Amino acid sequence: MILLFDIGNTHTHLGLADARRVLKQANLPTVAWGRGSPRGVLQRFAGGARLEGAVLCSVVPRATAWVHQAIRQLWNLPCLELTSKTLCGVGINYPRPATIGADRLANAVAARHHFGAPVVVVDFGTAVTFDVVDRAGDYVGGIIAPGLSAMTDYLHEKTALLPRIRIREVQSVIGKSTEQAMRVGAVQGYRGLIQELIRALKRELKAPRLPVVATGGCAELIGARLKVITAVDPLLTLEGLRLEWQAKHPDRGDKSMSERGRAQRSQETPAIC
């Protein structure tokens, strides 16, 4: 069993995985690492699992050091940190690889493994990010747009009359109140954004049947009515971390294809290492 850590600006996503799949997941505030409080949470999360190691990706350098320390003190385990230099699951064709967020690389690894190449990941987080793997299996770049919550919170904070709203499905494109109008702009507007950008990516990649995998907080909501979305996978980043560990430790665990992979993969793609 291995521990997985996706360390983001707001939350750290924890995972526990075996050689086949991610078995369970939990979230905790990233700021909690500085107070040392997550150690009890980690022990309870791991339970009595027999741990072989840990793997992490992070966009918060200070928290990265805290997680390394916690893993060492609690279990004295080896910990693999996913970066552009340690990456195995995809190649990189990008001018400054070190500037690519490690979570985006993990997403690309999981998407390529399960859906082949080319493939695109749309991650609905604080920002909406698009990550592109080309036909050669290389990460080649992406797109960054403001996230839904960032947009609606900004409207609330910068205007006198616009309220803070909860993002949920809309039934009409004509809002009958301020809240409804804002919700239409967010939900339907972002669907339009995603659809048009995917259309442009298909043209540029010359891939009319381009697989698109959605992940992140609003992925299910926005992807529900978009035909351009091939699959929604809330565990995509953690799955990428699991695959990176397996690529580095092929002699450990069951090397057979997971049931999850059989259900989702469109073509076999070997790890690049």
Residue-range domain boundaries for the chain:
91-235
Task: Give me the mean pLDDT over the 170-188 stretch.
Answer: 91
CA distances from 26 to 12, 152, 175, 211, 214 (A): 8, 26, 36, 28, 19
Task: Decide: 102 and 59 in contact? Cβ < 8 Å.
Answer: yes
Among 24-28, 133-137, 153-157, 209-213, which stretch is predicted with the lowest mean pLDDT?
Answer: 153-157
Task: Give me the mean pLDDT over the 246-266 stretch.
Answer: 53
| This prediction's pTM | 0.85
Half-sphere exposure at residue 150, Cβ-oriented, CA atoms within 13 angstroms: 12
Half-sphere exposure at residue 121, Cβ-oriented, CA atoms within 13 angstroms: 31
Q: DSSP for 110-124?
A: HHHHHH-SSEEEEEE
Task: Decide: 7 and 64 in contact? Cβ < 8 Å.
Answer: yes
pLDDT in tens, 230-240: 999 999 999 99
d(CA 243, CA 231) in angstroms, rounded, equals: 18
pLDDT in tens, 39-96: 889 999 998 889 999 999 999 999 999 999 999 999 999 899 999 999 998 999 999 9
Residue type, 16: L
d(CA 64, CA 127) in angstroms, rounded, equals: 21
Q: Give strand ranges (E) for 72-169.
A: 79-81, 91-92, 119-124, 127-133, 138-146
pLDDT in tens, 211-232: 999 998 889 988 888 999 999 9
Looking at the predicted structure, is the pLDDT value of residue 4 above 80? yes
- Domain 91-235 is of which CATH architecture? 2-Layer Sandwich (3.30)
253: confidence class by pLDDT, cuts 50, 70, 90: low
> What percentage of the chain reaches a pLDDT higher than 90?
63
Identify any residues that bridge with 232 across adjacent strands, giving them in sequence order.
Answer: 214
H or E segment to which residue 219 belongs: helix 219-223
Catalytic residue IDs? 103
